Amino acid sequence: MAKKRGQSQALETLAILEEIYPEAHCALYYRNPWELLVATILSAQCTDVRVNQVTRTLFRKFPDMEAFAAADLLDLEDAVRSTGFFRNKAKGIQGSAKVLLETHGGAVPQTLAELVVLPGVGRKTANVVLGNAFNIPAMVVDTHVGRVSRRLGWTTALTPEAVEQDLCALLPSEKWTMTSHILIFHGRSFCKAPTPLCSTCPLLSRCPRHGVTRSR
């Protein structure tokens, strides 16, 4: 009974957030699954704004997967330098391009298991691609999602994978992808780190940090 009550309260809170952020979406620029994979690899420890600035030029210089695979690694490193950790990112992107061409016929796979074994790809990147490129339910957990979901009492987990498991158990699968976007938007707008804007937050009356959750 307590679990069902927790699910009901979470869905009520999510419904409020859906009204507040109807425009919530993946902020990365991409035209196909491969470009989203590249952009998401670049987004690690980098803002979406910076990544979009870089990929506008990057995707013109390397227009397809074959071009990334054949690129001079130093040229690729230089092209993504401003996103940070550029050597590892360039190596991962080129490695993924080569693996996909050699073992998947140049197609980005549509399963978590196949994606996470690609160079430079972890669960977060894989879930971004699944949810946004293929419309396959996937819960993306970044620092915003982890922080906001803990503050809302939706999880007590500290690791991204454990948070993902808790949120997937709490919410129906058709809500997973959009929930990630919504929590990211809310984390950037109000539930900031280290100091949230609680006094103006539209969820103040429902937040466990500020008393007992009330009905909508």
Cα 126 to Cα 114: distance, rounded to the nearest angstrom: 9
Is 89 catalytic? The answer is: no
Whether the CB-CB separation of 90 and 96 falls below 8 Å is answered with no
Cα 31 to Cα 53: distance, rounded to the nearest angstrom: 15
| Active-site choice (89, 124, 166, 175) | 124
Is 124 catalytic? The answer is: yes
Among candidate residues 181, 185, 86, 76, the one with its CA nearest the CA of residue 128: 181
| Active-site choice (48, 91, 98, 142) | 142
- Would the CA dihedral through 131, 183, 117, 137 be positive or negative? negative
Among candidate residues 142, 93, 138, the one with its CA nearest the CA of residue 113: 138
Whether the CB-CB separation of 131 and 142 falls below 8 Å is answered with no
Whether the CB-CB separation of 107 and 34 falls below 8 Å is answered with no
Write the single-letter amino acid at 122: G
Whether the CB-CB separation of 7 and 153 falls below 8 Å is answered with no
- Would the CA dihedral through 18, 22, 28, 29 be positive or negative? positive
Which residues participate in catalysis according to the annotation? Answer: 124, 142
